[in-house]
């Protein structure tokens, strides 16, 4: 695969949560940083998101959750990714995340959690880091 | 107004003053100052600025309760009644919410603003696969009249005004409110209440849509028409600017698009053959309010009232004065509240209460200091009501109607807002109207750009937020109590809805749902209103999910336009 391919990121809104200001702003920042962003839009099921990540051959999956459903849906997406052969795609979560939820989310396989107040520069740097060195790039 | 000679004298005196103080002005904190919407904030304003706007006291202001209602929608405003105090709340179950709402009513809150969980808002019952993990998470799970009976038990609907933040399933919310009021023996002609029911902004901003816009708009018109003919004190539509602001829209974009959406509903009802004076009194305006633009928010609210009255009179030809008045209910969202040094949020809430009272609003729904940690706790909710009560009863602000009228700055900014709104309304018309704008992503793109600009300015520190990007503290504290939804509630709610389906008269439910299907399949029109069969279905204990599923089956579901 092309060595100079930009990092491809799938951004998704799992579940019924409609708040997409954050994910759209993050998408704009990732694009400005030269990455390729595919945004699923809202109201996506875990299955749809895992499927899209594999289909689009992305390096990173970014999930946005502001309605407290991440405890159920995020581990489910990671499980499905593993089942479908995308277990090497790192998953990053952003949004309204209670600090006490972070350890169990990490245990479930989330690579990074960006709660409210996170800075765009930090998100961009983190995704660039895992997108380049993550398992997904090994197939290139 | 000052005479020409007087204005000329002011002009030359100002030039003189500017010359004398030129060195001083060089040392100002910034070269130029702007409001959030991008209006210039000049050093001073004088009668000359008003003259340049063509400001005319009688034409542009008049008196409170008089056209164009810039100074307020009734003559004595808070000298007679203090504004309504609302609080957007909902705990996961009908039982828990009932206990809490009763305590809020006892604390002096006279408007209950129901916060539903996402499955209820999107018309999915707790046992629907898409509701998994979402039941009760962000508000009350309330999917049938039986839940209403529990949640509103002991709350007198003839005294307490219920507001519902229900949009895609707004018609079901209104039907439930009607059925509940009838059960309590409240005369519908006197029932006071509101339902947000503003589906347009779900497409442009908030995301809780179900059906394609055309069909959803039909449902809103049905509610407007039905309630307009029978329930003069009920507002079946609360056009919402606040969600546009939370999505990123500047106060100007928020005001202009909120009005554009209102006019779209009204035009749609008129096109169907309903008289404007039947439907227009059914509107409330749920605007945004931020502590970050004190005068800008006041000017915005005054301008919204003026533009609305002018358009309703001149364009829609409304005759009834009740059609011309824009009833404002500003709401504060979470975007300008912070986790860092969270008690500082109390100041931000109180400032919004001051702004809203100086704007002459009918009610306000402000946020809580712990909003950034989860569903607000009981203490935080009470504190928000107390902030409003302090402004109402301790400051003296309510004693004079529209006390900022005549401020050179406030009047200039109000006129500036009006011009900006008119210009943006023309832009929306140019692209073919609001529904075309949704299809093209016009609004969504605008808010995304506004939000991105805001975020960058905030991160660069150009926009200062105390305790967040300046005046920070090493150690951050966290509220003693943070509310978390008990995950076991989902299972209980699933069992309850299953039990309901077993115990009701399913023959009656089936018949009611079939009638909904029949009417939804036929063309919309004055003689084919969906409200009566929806009310019948609710009374038969059909669930919100079942009613919405019927409509989904006929109309399909909306797929959003992607802007990125």
Contact assignment for B138 to A67 by CB distance below 8 Å = yes
Chain A residues with CB-CB distance to B339 below 8 A = 116-117
What is the number of CB-based contacts under 8 A between chain A and chain B?
87
User: Of all residues in chain B, what percent carry a pLDDT higher than 70?
Assistant: 100
Name the one residue in this structure whose structure tokens are 């604390």: B107
Pick the more confident residue, A136 or B115.
Answer: B115
At residue B480 the predicted structure's pLDDT band, cuts being 50, 70 and 90, is: confident
Residues of A in contact with B121 (CB under 8 A): 16
| CA pair distance B33, A99, nearest whole angstrom | 38
Chain B contact set for A56 (CB, 8 A): none
B521 interface with A at CB cutoff 8 Å: no
pLDDT digits 0-9 by tens, B404-459: 999 999 999 999 999 999 999 999 999 999 999 999 999 999 999 999 999 999 99
Would you state the pLDDT for residue A135?
46
ipTM score here? 0.93
Instruction: Tell me the pLDDT tens digit for each residue of B248-259.
Output: 999 999 999 999
In what side-by-side order are the strands of the sheet with B234-235?
A: B234-235, B193-195, B161-164, B111-114, B84-89, B363-365
What is the pLDDT confidence band of residue B109, given thresholds at 50, 70 and 90? confident
Q: What is the pLDDT of residue B481?
A: 79
Percent above pLDDT 90 for chain A: 86
| Inter-residue contact B423 to B429 (CB < 8 Å) | no
Inside any domain, residue B515: no
pLDDT confidence of residue B564: 85
Token reading at B408: 């050179």
Q: Which helix (H) or strand (E) holds B112?
A: strand B111-114
**CA B114 to CA B237: how far, in whole Å?**
15
Closest approach of A28 to chain B, Cα-based (Å): 8
Tens of pLDDT, residues B257-292: 999 999 999 999 999 999 999 999 999 999 999 999
Pick from B134, B447, B456: which is nearest to A67 by CB? B134
Rounded to the nearest angstrom, the gap between the alpha carbon of residue B551 and the centroid of all alpha carbons in its chain is 26
> CA-to-CA distance for B416 and B300, rounded, in angstroms?
9
pLDDT at A3 over 80: no
- Partner residue opposite B133 with nearest CB, options A27, A31, A69: A69
Closest by Cβ to B459, choosing from A16, A71, A119 = A119
**Considering only CB atoms, which chain B residues are within 8 Å of A37?**
564
Among A20, A71, A117, the residue with its CB nearest the CB of B207 is: A20
Q: Do A98 and B374 make contact, defined as CB atoms within 8 angstroms? A: yes
Which residue(s) pair with B89 in the sheet?
B114
Residue B140 near chain A (CB below 8 Å): no
Tell me the percentage of chain B whose pLDDT exceeds 90: 93
Pairing assessment for the beta strands B111-114 and B84-89 based on DSSP bridges: parallel
What's this model's pTM, rounded to 2 decimal places?
A: 0.96
Contacts of B475 (CB under 8 A, 6+ apart): none
Distance CA B293, CA B256 (A): 17
d(CA B390, CA B386): 6
pLDDT score, position A1? 47
Show the tokens assigned to B504.
């009701």
Count of domains observed in chain B: 1
From the options 3.40.50.280, 3.40.50.300, 3.30.1220.10, 3.30.300.20, give the CATH code of A8-133. 3.40.50.280
Residue ranges per structural domain of chain A:
8-133
Give the tokens for residue B280.
Answer: 């227009």
Q: Give mean pLDDT, residues A9-16.
A: 97
Gap between the Cα atoms of A17 and B531, Å rounded:
28
Q: Given a cut of 80, is residue A29 above it in pLDDT?
A: yes
* Cα(B217)–Cα(B38) distance, integer angstroms: 32
Q: Does residue B224 or residue B376 have the better pLDDT?
A: B224
- Interface check for B467 against chain A (CB to CB < 8 A): the answer is no
Q: Which residues contact B23 (CB under 8 A, 6 or more apart)?
A: none
pLDDT, mean over chain B: 96
Give the N- to C-terminal CA distance of chain B in Å, as an integer. 51
pLDDT digits (tens, 9 = 90+) for B131-166: 999 999 999 999 999 999 999 999 999 999 999 999
User: What is the 3-class SS of B312-343, one letter each residue?
Assistant: HHHCCCCCCHHHHCCCECCECCCCCCCCCCCC
Burial (CB < 10 A; 0-12, 13-18, 19+), residue B484, is middle
* CB proximity A47 to B under 8 Å: no
Domain with B217 in it: what CATH number? 3.20.20.240
A71 touches chain B (CB under 8 A): yes
pLDDT digits (tens, 9 = 90+) for B357-385: 999 999 999 999 999 988 888 899 999 99
Flag whether B257 is in a domain.
yes
Domain assignment present for B230 = yes
In the three-class reduction of DSSP (H, G, I as helix; E, B as strand; rest coil), residue A38 is classed as strand
pLDDT (0 to 100) of residue A140 = 44
What whole-number distance in Å separates Cα of residue B46 and Cα of residue B328?
Answer: 29
State how far residue A69 is from chain B, nearest Cα, in angstroms: 5
Whether B327 has a pLDDT exceeding 60, the answer reads yes
How far is residue B130's CA from residue B74's CA, in Å, rounded to a whole number? 46
Q: Is residue B12 part of a domain?
A: no
Q: Does B487 touch chain A (CB under 8 A)?
A: yes
User: Is B352 a residue whose pLDDT tops 90?
Assistant: yes
Flag whether B167 is in a domain: yes
- Across residues B114-134, what is the average pLDDT? 96
Residue B485 pLDDT: 86
Residue B512 lies in a domain: no
Give domain status of residue B33, yes or no. Answer: no
Which of the four pLDDT bands, split at 50, 70 and 90, describes residue B475? confident
* Confidence check: pLDDT of B110 > 90: no
Residues B489-520: tens digit of each pLDDT: 999 999 999 999 999 999 999 999 999 999 99
Domain residue limits at B247? 59-64+73-460
């Amino acid at each position: 695969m092309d060595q100079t391919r930009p990092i491809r990121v799938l951004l998704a809104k799992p579940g019924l949560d409609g708040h997409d200001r954050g994910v759209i702003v993050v998408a704009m920042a990732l694009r400005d940083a030269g990455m390729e962003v595919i945004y699923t839009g809202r109201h996506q099921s875990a299955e749809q998101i895992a499927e899209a990540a594999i289909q689009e051959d992305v390096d990173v999956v970014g999930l946005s959750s502001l309605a407290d459903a991440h405890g159920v849906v995020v581990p489910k997406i990671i499980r499905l990714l593993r089942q479908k052969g995308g277990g090497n795609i790192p998953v990053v979560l952003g949004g309204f995340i209670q600090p006490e939820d972070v350890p169990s989310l990490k245990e479930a396989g989330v690579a990074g959690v960006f709660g409210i107040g996170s800075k765009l520069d930090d998100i961009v740097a983190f995704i660039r880091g895992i997108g380049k060195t993550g398992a997904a790039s090994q197939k290139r | 107004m000052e005479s020409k000679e007087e204005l000329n004298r002011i002009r030359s005196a100002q030039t003189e003053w500017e010359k004398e103080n030129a060195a001083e002005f060089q040392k100002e904190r910034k070269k130029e100052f702007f409001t959030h919407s991008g209006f210039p904030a000049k050093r001073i304003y004088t009668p000359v600025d008003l003259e340049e706007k063509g400001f005319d006291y009688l034409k542009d202001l008049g008196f409170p309760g008089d056209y164009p209602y810039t100074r307020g929608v009734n003559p004595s405003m808070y000298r007679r009644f203090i504004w309504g105090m609302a609080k957007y709340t909902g705990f996961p179950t009908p039982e828990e919410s009932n206990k809490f709402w009763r305590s809020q009513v006892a604390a002096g809150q006279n408007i209950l603003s129901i916060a539903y969980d996402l499955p209820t808002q999107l018309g999915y019952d707790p046992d629907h696969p898409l509701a998994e993990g979402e039941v009760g998470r962000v508000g009350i799970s309330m999917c049938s009249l039986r839940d209403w009976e529990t949640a509103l038990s002991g709350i007198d609907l003839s005294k307490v005004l219920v507001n519902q933040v229900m949009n895609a399933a707004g018609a079901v919310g209104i039907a439930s409110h009607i059925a509940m009021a009838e059960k309590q023996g409240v005369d519908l002609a006197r029932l006071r209440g509101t339902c947000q029911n503003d589906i347009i902004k779900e497409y442009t901003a908030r995301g809780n849509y179900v059906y394609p816009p055309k069909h959803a708009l039909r449902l809103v018109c049905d509610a407007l028409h039905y309630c307009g003919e029978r329930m003069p004190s009920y507002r079946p539509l609360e056009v919402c600017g606040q969600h546009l602001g939370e999505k990123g829209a500047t106060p100007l974009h928020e005001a202009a698009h909120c009005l554009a959406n209102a006019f779209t509903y009204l035009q749609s009802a008129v096109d169907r053959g309903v008289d404007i004076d039947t439907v227009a009194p059914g509107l409330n305006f749920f605007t945004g309010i931020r502590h970050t633009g004190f005068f800008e928010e006041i000017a915005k609210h005054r301008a919204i009232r003026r533009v609305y009255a002018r358009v309703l009179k001149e364009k829609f030809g409304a005759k009834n004065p009740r059609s011309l008045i824009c009833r404002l209910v500003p709401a504060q969202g979470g975007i300008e509240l912070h986790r860092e040094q969270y008690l500082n949020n109390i100041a931000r809430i109180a400032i919004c209460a001051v702004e809203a009272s100086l704007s002459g609003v009918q009610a306000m729904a402000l946020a809580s200091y712990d909003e950034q940690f989860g569903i607000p706790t009981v203490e935080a909710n009470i504190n928000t009501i107390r902030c409003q009560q302090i402004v109402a009863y301790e400051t003296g602000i309510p004693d004079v109607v529209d006390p900022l009228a005549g401020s050179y700055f406030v009047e200039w900014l109000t006129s500036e807002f009006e011009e900006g709104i008119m210009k943006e309304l023309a832009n929306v018309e140019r692209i073919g109207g609001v529904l075309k704008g949704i299809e093209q992503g016009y609004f969504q793109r605008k808010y995304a750009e506004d939000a991105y600009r805001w975020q960058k300015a905030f991160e660069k520190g150009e926009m200062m937020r105390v305790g967040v990007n300046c005046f920070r503290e090493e150690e951050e504290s966290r509220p003693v109590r943070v509310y978390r939804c008990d995950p076991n509630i989902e299972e209980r709610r699933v069992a309850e809805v299953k039990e309901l389906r077993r115990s009701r008269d399913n023959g009656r439910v089936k018949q009611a749902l079939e009638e909904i299907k029949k009417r939804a399949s036929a063309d919309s029109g004055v003689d084919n209103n969906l409200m009566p069969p929806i009310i019948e279905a609710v009374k038969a204990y059909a669930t919100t999910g079942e009613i919405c599923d019927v409509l989904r089956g006929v109309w399909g579901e909306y797929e959003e336009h992607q802007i990125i």
